[in-house]
Amino acid sequence: METESREFLETLLTTPSPSGFETAGQRVWVEYVSQFADDIYTDAYGNAVAVHEGEPDAPEIAFSGHADEIGFIVRDILEDGFLRIGMIGGSDHTVSKGQHVTVHTETGPVQGVIGQTAIHLREPGSEEYEKIEEQFVDVGAADDEEATELVEVGDPITFSTELYELHGNRLSARGMDNRVGTWSAAEGLRHAVENDVNATIYAVSTVQEEVGVQGAKMVGFDLNPDAAIAIDVTHATDNPDVASKHKGPVTLGDGPVVGRGSANHPNVVKLARAAAENAKIEIQLQAAGIRTGTDADGFYTSRSGIPSLNIGIPNRYMHTPVEVIDITDLDSVAALLGSIAEQAGSVRSFAVEI
């Protein structure tokens, strides 16, 4: 991975971007793509689109990742100064207690912890995971008067984690889901620009995927491309504690994962597989019999139906503060998108033949 691309990835991963509060992360993304995009624009909710202008009669393809991450939100401020919290997206209540968190306020970050009663004071044999709504944040305030000077109801909260390099090519951080997708969309656009491909390529960084693929619905309606490719993390199932019924062929470090079924349009799948073969990129296949759980689900039902595809990046421990990815998968995804951009110029229609 080139130095500038690596620095961009690290900045994305260390910039908090919870659903509904993505502005800081979107600024990072826009600043990076502005170096090579022909045009950039944003909408009222902060979805960001960068463009490579191709030939007028060539297809228009969108490469999209979502900018938002899961987190928490201040729900109530109690008399004793503690904060009751709610979920932003699919926050995991089994990993939240005993964690450092940051409350993102209008005046700056406030540090806190999600309280966990010491093991010495808990009743043996009665262990259970409290729901997020029953957990609380301690910011050090003595009472509600002190707490309200620091935070407000509705302030978002994220885990206070860092980016760590593991052995080999592995990285760990919160929010891999899905800063690695927006990174990939930007890098795919860069490949398209450098190769001056015939197709018009849109790199898209959407908002609020974690709360119902809302940004993709907005962008899909407004942009209306000939095809949309959503790049998101997918479950690597190669760690020991994955139940056998969830075991699949997805392995960390074995390359991009091309979805098949449901939202994944067969002709866009065919394009991706041909592009991978042409660029000699190893891919993995994944079945999606009902839904993808990604922005592809929002794109393919926009307007009269946008042919869509989900390309997955293998990710261990999704929706925890210690998500793990392999850098080689990111490089392969970026290269695959570049190859798709080159191959797409020869496509006349993505519609199925009946």
The interaxial angle of helices 176-194 and 23-33, nearest 10 deg, is: 20
Alpha carbon distances (Å) from 71 to 114, 165, 178, 265: 12, 23, 13, 32
313 forms beta bridges with 233
Q: Using only the alpha carbons of the chain, give its radius of gyration.
A: 21
Q: Which of 209, 323, 342, 353 is catalytic?
A: 209
Computed from CA positions of residues 280, 284, 290, 292, in that sequence, does the dihedral angle turn out positive or negative?
Answer: negative
Supply 225's token pair.
Answer: 């491309």
Q: Which residues are annotated as a binding site for Zn(2+)?
A: 66, 177, 210, 232, 319
Burial class (CB in 10 A: 0-12, 13-18, 19+), 99: middle
- Residue 206: strand, helix, or coil: strand
For residues 110 and 108, what is the distance between their CA atoms, to the nearest angstrom? Answer: 7
| Beta strands across the sheet bearing 164-165 | 164-165, 170-173, 323-326
102 forms beta bridges with 111, 158
Supply 14's token pair.
Answer: 């260390």
CA 28 to mean position of chain CA atoms:
15
CA angle (337, 234, 269) in 5-degree steps: 45
How far separated are the first and last CA of the chain, in Å rounded?
43
CB 349 within 8 A of CB 203: no
For residues 226 and 215, what is the distance between their CA atoms, to the nearest angstrom? Answer: 18
Supply 345's token pair.
Answer: 């110029």
For residues 181 and 65, what is the distance between their CA atoms, to the nearest angstrom? Answer: 4
Active site residue 209: yes
CB 151 within 8 A of CB 74: yes
Active-site residues, by number, are 209
